[in-house]
């Protein structure tokens, strides 16, 4: 999780407060002083920190007199709410609509990660089924054309640009017209950057904005400069109609907290954050969810919507039914792999679960895992229907043929079949425990210890270890058991209705 260090220091200070036998003024001051230090180190503006501290103390003093109020809870609630306020803006970003030809222009200085971010942003919409076209109107930097073209090829998006044309306005116009005529949902324009803010850049941005009249202008900001983001964001905002901001490189620097709060202070809504160099290292930003995740409090609402978006609504009952009967074919495994790939980063998914350590799977290992899943899927693409549905066993000659057809090796096909057997066995055991039935999920929440023992006997020890061991699973279940089931179920209902509308 981005800003993990800041989050663990704040949650550590709150935890220490929870452990104190008496919560007096001194204990609260001590807790707040640790939080203040952590925020200062993340480069958050001192005036903001002072406001946050004063507001928390005010809340404690106001509410503590009411009978039965728990000071620990008041402090925690006030800290979360003040951090949230610090990252929120009243202004809402433009909502793009599929089916409408949305034109989005990206602006930002050189090296901030603009071109990479464009590919991430396009990929985000392509995964949702949108038709996205990319236009390179950066005629300033020599390598810009090739870089965007290569990125476009990687995400399988069409690209428009010219090696020889030097007028960015002309290219942008032609590119927009080209994708418009082909009824694309989203047309993204990459524009030039400069090493520093200068009039030449702003004049070019203004000309482009006037000519192509974009629905949205997105400013890409490098978060590693911390608080200085304020001046830069303000300068771009004054030059063109910046509707929203994407912050990059939040994975790589301690100053991220300062950068986020500084941009929010310009009243520009932050819509996404970049958390790595890969195209799926990109997260939607929503202040409350972000704060809860940074503090290890999870975000169950978002977890439900992510899972439900990934598993099609009509497939959900079918899947539960199959698991509860212990059935699992190679085709089911293929579909599960598809779901995992659609859900994006496993680590960011983990951070949505309360109490779950989001850095559980090392970064490099996660990528290896995804590459392996993709190879397994290639192998399964070379199988025929009876083999995928478990109606026909694979003999040696078929295994050799499948390995050749998928460009893999016999050894890899055998590894896949071994993995499949382990999965199928686990599903069979889960079926016997009826873990898949919805009402048993409630027992799961109510009596985590008993259910934990059942899970331990069903889950492959290696997989359990990957999830942080049984102690971590236990903690996660305890946290989940604290949640209000009624609220969770109603949330599922809400999300289902939302999905049906699409």
Ligand X SMILES: Nc1nc2c(ncn2[C@@H]2O[C@H](COP(=O)(O)OP(=O)(O)OP(=O)(O)O)[C@@H](O)[C@H]2O)c(=O)[nH]1
Least spacing, CB of residue 84 vs ligand X, in Å: 23
The reply on whether position 277 binds ligand X by CB under 6 A is yes
Least spacing, CB of residue 489 vs ligand X, in Å: 36
Query: By C-alpha distance, which of 208, 295, 232 is closest to 6?
Result: 295
Between 141 and 322, name the residue whose CB sits nearer to ligand X.
141
d(CA 495, CA 174): 40
Listed ranges 78-86, 96-104, 108-116, 320-328: which one lies at the site for ligand X (CB under 6 A): 108-116
Between 219 and 444, name the residue whose CB sits nearer to ligand X.
219
Between 75 and 157, name the residue whose CB sits nearer to ligand X.
157
The reply on whether position 3 binds ligand X by CB under 6 A is no
Contacts of 462 (CB under 8 A, 6+ apart): none
Least spacing, CB of residue 275 vs ligand X, in Å: 6
The reply on whether position 141 binds ligand X by CB under 6 A is yes
Q: With CB under 6 A, what is the number of residues at the site for ligand X?
A: 20
Q: Which of 144, 246, 300, 416 binds ligand X (CB under 6 A)?
A: 144
Between 280 and 332, name the residue whose CB sits nearer to ligand X.
280
d(CA 13, CA 435): 37
| Contact assessment for residue 332 and residue 322, using Cβ atoms and an 8 Å cutoff | yes
Query: By C-alpha distance, which of 100, 170, 110 is closest to 135?
Result: 170
Between 276 and 344, name the residue whose CB sits nearer to ligand X.
276
d(CA 49, CA 29): 14
Listed ranges 48-56, 269-277, 433-441, 459-467: which one lies at the site for ligand X (CB under 6 A): 269-277
Listed ranges 48-56, 136-144, 234-242, 325-333: which one lies at the site for ligand X (CB under 6 A): 136-144
Q: Which of 37, 62, 70, 111 binds ligand X (CB under 6 A)?
A: 111
For helices 316-324 and 410-433, give the axis angle rounded to 10 degrees. 80
Q: Which of 8, 45, 116, 271 binds ligand X (CB under 6 A)?
A: 116
The reply on whether position 248 binds ligand X by CB under 6 A is yes
| Contact assessment for residue 417 and residue 383, using Cβ atoms and an 8 Å cutoff | no
Listed ranges 110-118, 235-243, 339-347, 423-431: which one lies at the site for ligand X (CB under 6 A): 110-118
The DSSP line for 226-268 is GGGHHHHHHHHHHHS---EEEEE-TTS-TTHHHHHHHHHHTT-
- 148: tokens are 């965007």
Is residue 104 helix, strand or coil?
strand
Between 116 and 244, name the residue whose CB sits nearer to ligand X.
116
Between 56 and 144, name the residue whose CB sits nearer to ligand X.
144
- 99: tokens are 């089916």
Residue tagged 């290292």 (tokens): 281
Q: Which of residues 184-223 bind ligand X (CB under 6 A)?
A: 193
- 489: tokens are 């179920």
The reply on whether position 408 binds ligand X by CB under 6 A is no
d(CA 288, CA 88): 8
Contacts of 176 (CB under 8 A, 6+ apart): 103, 135, 187, 189, 212
Listed ranges 35-43, 78-86, 274-282, 427-435: which one lies at the site for ligand X (CB under 6 A): 274-282
Between 7 and 276, name the residue whose CB sits nearer to ligand X.
276
What residue ranges bind ligand X (CB under 6 A)?
108, 110-116, 138, 141, 144, 193, 248-249, 251-252, 274-277
């Amino acid at each position: 999780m981005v800003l993990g260090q800041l989050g663990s220091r704040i949650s550590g200070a709150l935890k220490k407060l929870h452990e104190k036998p008496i919560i007096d003024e001194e204990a609260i001051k001590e807790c707040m002083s640790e939080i203040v230090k952590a925020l200062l180190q993340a480069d958050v503006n001192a005036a903001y920190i002072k406001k946050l501290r004063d507001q928390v103390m005010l809340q404690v003093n106001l509410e503590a007199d009411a009978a039965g109020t728990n000071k620990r809870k008041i402090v925690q609630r006030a800290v979360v709410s003040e951090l949230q306020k610090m990252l929120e803006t009243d202004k809402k970003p433009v909502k793009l609509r599929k089916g409408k030809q949305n034109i989005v222009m990206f602006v930002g200085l050189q090296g901030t990660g603009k071109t990479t971010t464009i590919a991430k942003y396009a990929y985000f919409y392509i995964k949702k089924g949108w038709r996205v076209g990319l236009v390179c109107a950066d005629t300033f930097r020599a390598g810009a054309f090739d870089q965007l073209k290569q990125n476009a090829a990687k995400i399988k998006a069409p690209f428009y640009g010219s090696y020889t044309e030097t007028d960015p306005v002309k290219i942008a116009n032609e590119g927009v017209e080209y994708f418009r005529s082909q009824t694309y949902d989203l047309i993204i324009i990459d524009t030039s950057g400069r090493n520093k803010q200068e009039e030449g850049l702003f004049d070019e941005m203004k000309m482009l904005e006037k000519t192509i009249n974009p629905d949205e202008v997105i400013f890409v900001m490098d978060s590693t400069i911390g608080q200085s983001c304020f001046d830069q964001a303000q300068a771009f905002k004054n030059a063109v109609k910046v509707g929203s901001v994407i912050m990059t490189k939040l994975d790589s620097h301690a100053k991220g907290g300062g950068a986020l709060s500084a941009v929010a202070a310009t009243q520009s809504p932050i819509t996404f954050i970049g958390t790595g160099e890969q195209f799926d290292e990109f997260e939607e930003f929503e202040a409350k969810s972000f704060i809860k995740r940074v503090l290890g409090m999870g975000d169950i609402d978002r977890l439900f919507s992510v899972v439900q978006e990934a598993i099609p609504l009509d497939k959900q009952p079918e899947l539960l039914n199959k698991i509860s009967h212990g059935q699992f074919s190679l085709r089911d495994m293929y579909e599960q792999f598809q779901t995992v790939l659609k859900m994006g980063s496993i680590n960011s998914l983990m951070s949505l679960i309360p109490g779950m350590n989001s850095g559980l799977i090392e970064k490099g290992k996660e990528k290896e895992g995804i590459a392996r899943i993709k190879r397994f899927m290639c192998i399964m693409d070379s199988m025929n229907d009876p083999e995928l549905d478990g109606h026909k066993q694979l003999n040696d000659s078929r295994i050799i043929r499948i390995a050749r057809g998928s460009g893999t090796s016999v050894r890899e096909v055998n590894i896949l079949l071994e993995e499949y057997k382990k999965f199928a066995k686990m599903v069979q055991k889960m079926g016997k425990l009826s873990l898949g039935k919805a009402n048993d999920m409630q027992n799961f929440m109510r009596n985590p210890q008993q259910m934990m023992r059942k899970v331990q006997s069903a889950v492959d020890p290696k997989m359990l270890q990957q999830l942080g061991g049984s102690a971590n699973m236990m903690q996660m279940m305890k946290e989940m058991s604290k949640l209000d089931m009624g609220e969770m179920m109603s949330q599922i209902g809400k999300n289902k209705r939302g999905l049906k509308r699409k």
